[in-house]
């Protein structure tokens, strides 16, 4: 378990990752809104604004409450359900997020953000087959959205269709050059197919740049480890981890290398999916 935790806690799929820790603030009271709008009755727009303010302040639970109240004032509105879904997903409440996105799509079956959100949530549950339909609908509407192409690539990687995934990421990078998320997912996909040198060449400049994330650095360490370069994997691992965690990760990389390509791919996909959920939980507690 310690070995898994050390490896899993430091990187996740870029398409599904968050940034730095959320600053937790005292909860805003969803009911304490009298006088905020000149004493006028609470409106849909007021609640949506309060939801956005609560989210920006890091009070995710209050934001969800405001979104839900806004939805009650406008039964046909899509935005409150999408906002609630996005926030619930950020909180790690994946199943509740799926309910919210489906409610949004019941009102507009082609809403692009709801489709992307539902696909992202299904990928987090490890069910890429459920992500296929919303992604296909979204692709018909916005085929040149680089972030949508990234999500489709992630789904392709989950389905072991790595060549298709890499084509999606490369097309996304044509539309959004040097994007870190697309680059990281392409590098990881290349590593899944044993193309370690190209994967390293893709990710190394990003992972070692000033301002790079722990996830980017430790994904690079993983790729070095899969390639059998324990020296570089250890050196990069030490940028963020203590010596014991680095040794645990090196042992884990060695165990991955001994697996068949198919089993290795499944293990890494499971690792990155769980790591993303774990990252969200850690952020809520930080």
Q: Do domains 21-142 and 146-286 have the same CATH topology?
A: yes
pLDDT higher at 200 or 276:
200
CA distance 141 to 136: 9
Would the pLDDT of 35 be above 50?
A: no
> Mean pLDDT of all residues in the chain?
84
User: Who's near 46: CB < 8 A, 6+ residues apart?
Assistant: 33, 36, 37
Contact 238, 224 (CB under 8 A): no
pLDDT higher at 81 or 30:
81
For residue range 60-104, list pLDDT tens digits in order: 999 999 999 999 999 999 999 999 999 999 999 999 999 999 999
CATH homologous superfamily of 146-286: Tetratricopeptide repeat domain (1.25.40.10)
CA distance 256 to 268: 8
CA distance 179 to 176: 6
For residue range 202-235, list pLDDT tens digits in order: 999 999 999 999 999 999 999 999 999 999 999 9
21-142: which CATH topology?
Answer: 1.25.40
Contact 156, 165 (CB under 8 A): yes
- Nearest CA to 186 among 146, 214, 225, 230? 146
- Nearest CA to 113 among 143, 134, 90? 134
Q: What is the pTM of this model?
A: 0.76
Q: Where do the domains of the chain lie? A: 21-142, 146-286
pLDDT higher at 20 or 61:
61
Give the pLDDT of residue 245: 96
pLDDT grade, residue 179 (50/70/90)? very high
Would the pLDDT of 279 be above 70?
A: no
For residue range 235-269, list pLDDT tens digits in order: 999 999 999 999 999 999 999 999 998 889 888 87
């Amino acid at each position: 378990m310690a070995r898994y935790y050390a490896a899993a806690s430091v990187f996740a799929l870029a398409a599904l990752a968050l940034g730095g820790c959320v600053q937790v603030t005292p909860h805003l009271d969803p009911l304490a809104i009298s006088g905020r709008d000149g004493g006028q009755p609470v409106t849909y727009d007021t609640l949506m604004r309060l939801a956005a303010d609560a989210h920006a302040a890091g009070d995710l639970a209050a934001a969800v409450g405001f979104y839900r109240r806004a939805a009650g004032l406008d039964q046909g509105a899509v935005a409150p359900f999408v906002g609630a879904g996005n926030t619930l997903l950020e909180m790690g409440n994946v199943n509740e997020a799926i309910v919210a996105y489906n409610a949004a799509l019941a009102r507009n079956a082609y809403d692009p953000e709801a489709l992307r959100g539902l696909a992202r949530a299904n990928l987090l549950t490890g069910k890429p087959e459920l992500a296929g339909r919303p992604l296909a609908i979204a692709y018909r509407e916005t085929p040149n959205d680089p972030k949508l192409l990234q999500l489709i690539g992630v789904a392709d990687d989950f389905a072991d269709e790595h060549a298709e995934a890499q084509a999606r990421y490369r097309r996304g990078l044509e539309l959004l050059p040097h994007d870190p998320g697309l680059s990281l997912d392409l590098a990881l996909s290349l590593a899944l197919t044993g193309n370690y040198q190209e994967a390293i060449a893709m990710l190394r400049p990003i992972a070692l740049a000033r301002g790079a994330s722990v996830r980017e650095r430790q994904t690079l360490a993983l790729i070095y480890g899969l390639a059998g370069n324990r020296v570089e994997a250890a050196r990069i691992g030490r940028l963020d981890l203590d010596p014991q965690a680095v040794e645990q990760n090196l042992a884990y990389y060695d165990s991955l290398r001994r697996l068949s390509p198919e089993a290795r791919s499944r293990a890494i996909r499971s690792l990155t999916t769980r790591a993303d959920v774990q990252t969200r939980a850690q952020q809520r507690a930080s």
